[in-house]
Chains A and B, each alone.
Chain A
Amino acid sequence: MHEDNAFTAAVSLILSGDAVLGEIVRLSLAVSLTALLVSAIIGLPLGAALALARFPGRSFLVVAFNALMGLPPVVAGLMVYLMLSRSGPLGWIGILFTPSAMIVAQSLLITPIIVSLTRQVVEDLWGEYEEQLRSLGSTRLQAIPTLLWDGRFSLITTILAGFGRASAEVGAILIIGGNIAGYTRTMTTAIALETSKGDLALALGLGIILLTITLLLNAAAYATGRIAQKVAG
Chain B
Amino acid sequence: MHGSFSILPLRAEGLTYNIAGRALVDDISFEIARGTRTIIMGPNGAGKSLTLRLCHGLLKPTLGSVTWNGAAYTEGRKRHAMVFQRPVMLRRSALANLTHALSLTRSSPRDALSRANEALARFGLVELARRPARILSGGEQQRLAMARAWALDPEVLFLDEPTSALDPTATRAVEDMIKAFHADGMTILMTTHDLGQAQRLADEVLFLHRGRILEQTPAKEFFERPRSDAARAFINGELLW
**B-binding residues in A (CB < 8 A):** 128-129, 131-132, 134-138, 142, 146, 149-150, 152, 230-233
* Bound: A134/B84 CA distance, A: 12
- Cβ proximity bits B63-77 to A, threshold 8 Å, 1 near / 0 not: 000000000000011
Among B19-27, B97-105, B168-176, the stretch in contact with A: B97-105
Please tell me which one of the listed residues A137, A142, A150, A230 contacts residue B90 in the complex, with CB atoms under 8 A apart.
A150
A137-B76, A142-B104 known, 18 other contacts, Cβ within 8 Å = A131-B84, A131-B88, A132-B84, A132-B88, A135-B58, A135-B81, A135-B82, A136-B101, A137-B78, A137-B104, A137-B105, A138-B104, A150-B90, A230-B132, A231-B91, A232-B91, A233-B132, A233-B135
User: Within the complex, what minimum Cβ distance (angstroms) separates B174 from chain A?
Assistant: 17
- Pick the most buried of B76, B77, B88, B132: most chain A CB atoms within 10 A of its CB: B88
User: Within the complex, what minimum Cβ distance (angstroms) separates A176 from chain B?
Assistant: 39
Given A136-B104, A149-B92 in contact, is the A231-B81 Cβ separation under 8 Å? no
Residues of A within 8 A of B210 (CB): none
Residues of B within 8 A of A131 (CB): 58, 84, 88
Residues of A within 8 A of B58 (CB): 131, 134-135
A and B contact pairs by CB, cutoff 8 A, 30 listed: A128-B88, A129-B88, A131-B58, A131-B84, A131-B88, A132-B88, A134-B58, A135-B56, A135-B58, A135-B84, A136-B81, A136-B100, A137-B77, A137-B78, A137-B104, A137-B105, A138-B104, A142-B104, A146-B90, A146-B100, A149-B92, A150-B91, A150-B92, A230-B132, A230-B135, A231-B132, A232-B91, A232-B134, A233-B132, A233-B134
Residues of A within 8 A of B105 (CB): 137
Residues of B within 8 A of A134 (CB): 58
* Bound: A137/B82 CA distance, A: 11
B132 touches A232 (CB 8 A): yes
* Bound: A134/B78 CA distance, A: 11
* Bound: A78/B58 CA distance, A: 50
**A-binding residues in B (CB < 8 A):** 56, 58, 76-78, 81-82, 84, 88, 90-92, 100-101, 104-105, 132, 134-135, 152
Q: Which residue of B lies closest to A228 (CB)?
A: B91
Residues of A within 8 A of B101 (CB): 136
User: Within the complex, what minimum Cβ distance (angstroms) separates B110 from chain A?
Assistant: 19
User: Within the complex, what minimum Cβ distance (angstroms) separates A155 from chain B?
Assistant: 12
* Bound: A136/B84 CA distance, A: 12
Residues of A within 8 A of B56 (CB): 135
User: Within the complex, what minimum Cβ distance (angstroms) separates B61 from chain A?
Assistant: 16
User: Within the complex, what minimum Cβ distance (angstroms) separates A170 from chain B?
Assistant: 38
User: Within the complex, what minimum Cβ distance (angstroms) separates B163 from chain A?
Assistant: 18
* Bound: A137/B58 CA distance, A: 10
* Bound: A232/B89 CA distance, A: 10
User: Within the complex, what minimum Cβ distance (angstroms) separates A140 from chain B?
Assistant: 13
* Bound: A138/B132 CA distance, A: 22
- Pick the most buried of A135, A152, A233: most chain B CB atoms within 10 A of its CB: A135
* Bound: A136/B105 CA distance, A: 8
* Bound: A99/B60 CA distance, A: 54
Residues of A within 8 A of B76 (CB): 137
Q: Which residue of A lies closest to B77 (CB)?
A: A137
Given A135-B58, A137-B105, A146-B100 in contact, is the A129-B81 Cβ separation under 8 Å? no
Residues of B within 8 A of A230 (CB): 132, 135
Q: Which residue of B lies closest to A132 (CB)?
A: B88
Residues of B within 8 A of A231 (CB): 91, 132
User: Within the complex, what minimum Cβ distance (angstroms) separates A226 from chain B?
Assistant: 14
Q: Which residue of B lies closest to A233 (CB)?
A: B134
User: Within the complex, what minimum Cβ distance (angstroms) separates A103 from chain B?
Assistant: 33
Residues of A within 8 A of B77 (CB): 137
Q: Which residue of A lies closest to B100 (CB)?
A: A146
* Bound: A231/B132 CA distance, A: 6
A233 touches B88 (CB 8 A): no
